[in-house]
Structure 1
Amino acid sequence: MPAPTLTRRQFAKALGAGALTAPLIVRHLFSAPPSRVLRHASFGASNMAWADLQAICSNPFVQLVAVAEVDRNRLGDVLAAFPDVKVYQDWRELLDQERDLDSVNVSTPDHQHAVMALAAMERGKHVYGQKPLAHDLHETRALTDYARRHPRLVTQMGIQIHSEKSYRTAVALIQSGAIGLIREVHTWSNKKWGDQGPPPPVGDPVPEGFDWDLWLGGCAERPFVGRDYYHPGNWRKRLDFGTGTFGDMGCHIFDPVFEGLALTAPLSVRSEGPAPDAWNWSTDAVIRYVFPGTRYTEAATIPITWYDGDQRPPAEIRALVAPANPPARASTATPARPADPRDEGSILIGTKGVLHLPHPEMPRLCPVEQFKDYLLPQVTGSHHWSDWAEACVGGAARPLAPFAYSGPLTETVLLGSVAVRFPQTTLRWNSARLRFENERAANAFVRRRYRRGWRLGSV
């Protein structure tokens, strides 16, 4: 059936304020025409899943065959746009019944990402997986390794700004040496995906049409709590289901730094913020990474610090990207914009200058007067979802954030989910062995346990 028309305003509304501010570029003029129809299914039908499937189905060669939605009360948008789509409540049944599928998007809470994605990949389906790629380090490595062993599978993680002009330009500036070799990096988000205290002691009735046990997946059984405590919105705050602010926004904001510097796995990670309690992630994180140096860094190692909630880089760092006066010309690199302490972004300090990358906007080079005549590299963005969809059907486009790239990025970010449990402790990381070398207790959080009846792979 034909895909619905997707306007910029509708798409931005579906993603939520601030999630996508760069222009939507829908690629319908292919350099090589698709060779076949892409028979697609969505795991999830609302919120991010609804945004993802709209973007994927904006391509005329995509046919939405089925959706799996654990909460039948959240099917309204999909059924209105795709009245003939097959609906399943259990995603496993969908995979068993719809054997002619070509691809899926996994756009559910974090704790379900890995089991869904790997089950689909084992059945030969291309996968578009939302960030973070998985809930823990072992799950992430499993998806990355499987994708590498099966290169015909087309994968992409949902870090859509990665493909847009703003982030592509930032990477080009870093790698061209615009600010010299990089000495240190500071990244931050003002979001607060955390909480304190236990859930209410008495559970609530499960809404009709919602399969709470299936929503839990491999996590331990517990009473359902209404008032949006878990579903549909606040699961990111809970240890078992989400990955905190760093798991959510870190995958976005750390992305151009990771790619621009051509980083590999960090050598160590250290949390100087509060620890989570027994149920919830904390906020106001300060997480310090040390990475091996690359050809884009000044020294043999490079420090990178993440801040969230009310934490920010030190005042002297923020002062390096103070507002410019007068504003730079429109044709130059750096429109005048302060490093607003309430916002999100990165500051990279180099030997020749400073790069400020407000998320998800165009980069600024500082001091502004020094770079007032510096022309930006000519970089174009692309449509993150269409690149993946076209590649699935043999088109010329290629995904820019396949699991081979986004898996190591996610591992780096999720090291923070372990570090925050051991405040003021420098954890030495051995990526090859997927373990911490100096803190045995930390290794208990590398791989989660699933409850009976659930496993990673061959579900």
Structure 2
Amino acid sequence: MSNHFSRRSFLRQSTAAGIGLSALGLSRAHGAAAKGKLRVLSIGVMGTIGKADRTQIASHPDVEIVGLCDVDSVYLAEAAMDHPDAFTCKDYREAFEKYGDQFDAVIVSVPDHTHAPIILTAMANDKHVYGQKPLVQQLAELAMVGQALKAKPRLVTQLGNQRMAHPGRRAAVDILSKGLLGKTVEAYCWTNALGDNRYFNFNKVYKEAKVPDRLDYNLWLGPCQERPYYEDLAPEKFRSWWDFGTNGLGDWGCHLLDVILLSYNELTSPVSVKTDCAEPAGKIFHVNPCKSTLTYQVDSDRFAAKTFPLHYYDSDQTPSPEQMRIPEPVKGSNMTVVVCEGGTLVLQADGRLTVWRDGKKEQGLRLEGIPKKYAPLNHWHAWVDNCLGRDTPLLTPFADGIRITEPALLAVKATRFPGQELQWDYSKLAFPNHPEATKTLVRRTYREGFAPPRVG
């Protein structure tokens, strides 16, 4: 391991970066996990990301996949071929009630609307959790997870933003947290997630169909109210639907906003959000294109002003070169741009990093003041290592996942009231200047039997 990732170095750099103690994996394993292999239950075994999460975690030499849970019988059978000795079930509640003593940790790779119920069930049962992004689908669920973290400090958690392992993204955190480009002015992020027909229902198709024999649709609905089956909803196009997904802004937020939030611990919670779109989001579908501005209050000499605007766009909308203080347009989708008084950092989702200073472009990884080389880091294995009590950098535990998910959720929820600045108070889970937004945007009514348990 290089000097950059010695424990002392990581402690020092994490404090400077604002990553916080939660990212250090200081919570240590307990029970069977500390005695040998980590026994893992995989919930959502295939789908859009489930197979990747499961196989990556299973590739760790000290992991055993002991359980498989999925509402799709075909997916479950496919995964069982990889893990023939694992127990199988289609209802996550059965997994905890019947097999809870057989596993130590849980992978939650399911649609957005079921994240919180399953994650909180796992934490209530003292299981370490790897949870896919966005962390939750409702604003109130952020506080539920926060409360669970306080009640269960020994549990190791990890948000599914694997791109943070790229050297360029870790370098970006170093550059920003160390102030190598001077005081921070504002940031721009944008995604073209809506260009992916597999995961989005762009045309807002709303046609009833017969439930496939392979799918337990009642369990797939989970906390959401009963409704007819739509093939352009389940199992993979849920992201465009208001009750089930978080559209492009929510889907990509944790891959674009993470570097900013991990660099500045001063950015605790936005105080307002304003999202511009052509029409309000309806009761069924999200709306796009959208341009959102989230405002943070800051009192730090690392920022150029007392407020920090974070602009977040979808549908490949991009700011002008003048806004980014660079001489030419930025080409590329899924980008993070941070404007500082001494230069502009431009980062692609895959870690390609450039810096503009004095009108000239530089290779970000060659910038003076950051390590010449970043040690390889396996995002999934880091979670396993920490569950087993090993000192491996864990870059996005749920404590940071809450801060990263919050602005993404606010941006997309505010599409119900386009062009209106909604003041936000996380401590009260309310929009103080907009009672209707508080009533309609913060929480859902859970279907009986599927509500997240209270933890702590």
The alignment's TM-score, normalised by the length of structure 2, stands at 0.85
Q: Distance in 2 between matches of 1:196 and 1:153?
A: 42
**1:268/1:76 Cα in 2 relative to 1: closer, same or farther (>3 Å)?**
same
Partner of 1:423: 418
Aligned to 1:79: 80
Q: Which residue of 2 aligns with 1:209?
A: 214
Instruction: Give the Å deviation of 1:157.
Output: 0.7
CA contact (8 A) 1:43 1:68 kept: yes
Tell me what 1:199 maps to: 206
Q: Is the 8 A contact 2:273 2:294 kept in 1?
A: yes
TM superposition shift of 1:376:
6.3
* Superposed counterparts of 1:58-69, under 5 Å: 58-69=59-70
Structure 2 counterpart SS, 1:145 = helix
SS of residue in 2 equivalent to 1:135 = coil
The amino acid across from 2:418 in the alignment is P
CA distance in 2, matches of 1:366, 1:179: 9
Point out where structure 2 has 5 or more consecutive residues left out of the alignment. 1-32, 195-199
Question: Structure 1's 220 and 321: CA in aligned 2 closer, same or farther, altered over 3 A?
Answer: farther
Structure 1 equivalent of residue 118 of structure 2:
116
**Hey, what's the Cα distance between the residues in 1 that align with 2:96 and 2:325?**
53
- CA distance in 2 between counterparts of 1:152 and 1:321 reads 49
Letter aligned with residue 230 of structure 2 = V
Once the two structures are superposed, the pairs formed by residues 133-144 of structure 1 within 5 Å of their partners are 133-144=135-146
Please, which of 441, 452, 455 is the counterpart of residue 456 of structure 1? 452
User: How many residues matched?
Assistant: 407
The whole-number CA distance in structure 2 between the counterparts of 1:343 and 1:57 is 31
Partner of 2:262: 259
Would the aligned equivalents of 1:194 and 1:282 in 2 still touch at CA under 8 Å? Answer: no
Per the alignment, residue 328 of structure 1 pairs with none
TM-score by length of 1: 0.84
Equivalences for residues 293-308 of structure 1 within 5 A: 293=298, 294-308=300-314
What do residues 188-209 of structure 1 show as CA deviations (whole Å, max 9, x unaligned)? Answer: 0012156465612xx3221113
Aligned counterparts of 2:327 and 2:257: Cα–Cα separation in 1:
18
Q: Report what 2:14 is aligned to.
A: none
Cα offsets for 1:179-237 (capped at 9, x unmatched): 1111111110012156465612xx322111310011000111111122xx012221111
The whole-number CA distance in structure 1 between the counterparts of 2:283 and 2:39 is 42
4+ residue segments displaced more than 6 Å:
none
Question: Which residue in the other structure is 2:442 paired with?
Answer: 446
| Residue 344, structure 1, aligned to residue 334, structure 2 | yes
- Measured in 2, the distance between the counterparts of 1:355 and 1:397 equals 27
Q: In structure 2, give the amino acid aligned to 1:45.
A: V
The offset of 1:70, in angstroms, is: 0.2
**C-alpha root-mean-square deviation of aligned residues, in Å?**
2.1
Name the SS for the 2:427 alignment partner: coil
SS at match of 1:241: coil
**Equivalent residue letter for 1:276:** A
Q: If each structure's helix is expressed as a fraction of its own residues, which one has the higher value?
A: 2
Query: Which residue in the other structure is 1:396 paired with?
Result: 391
Q: Pairwise mapping of residues 182-261 of structure 1 onto structure 2 (< 5 A)?
A: 182-192=184-194, 193=200, 195=202, 197=204, 199-200=206-207, 203-226=208-231, 229-261=232-264
User: CA deviation digits over 1:236-256, x for unaligned, max 9?
Assistant: 111111111111101110110
Query: How far apart, CA to CA, are the structure 2 residues paired with 1:350 and 1:458?
Result: 42
Change (3 A) 1:374 1:89: closer
Equivalent position amino acid for 1:247 in 2? G
In structure 2, give the amino acid aligned to 1:450: Y
2:295 to 290, 298, 304: 290
Tell me if structure 1 keeps the 8 A contact 2:105–2:129: yes
Once residues 375 and 326 of structure 2 are traced to their aligned partners in structure 1, the CA distance between those partners, rounded to angstroms, is 28
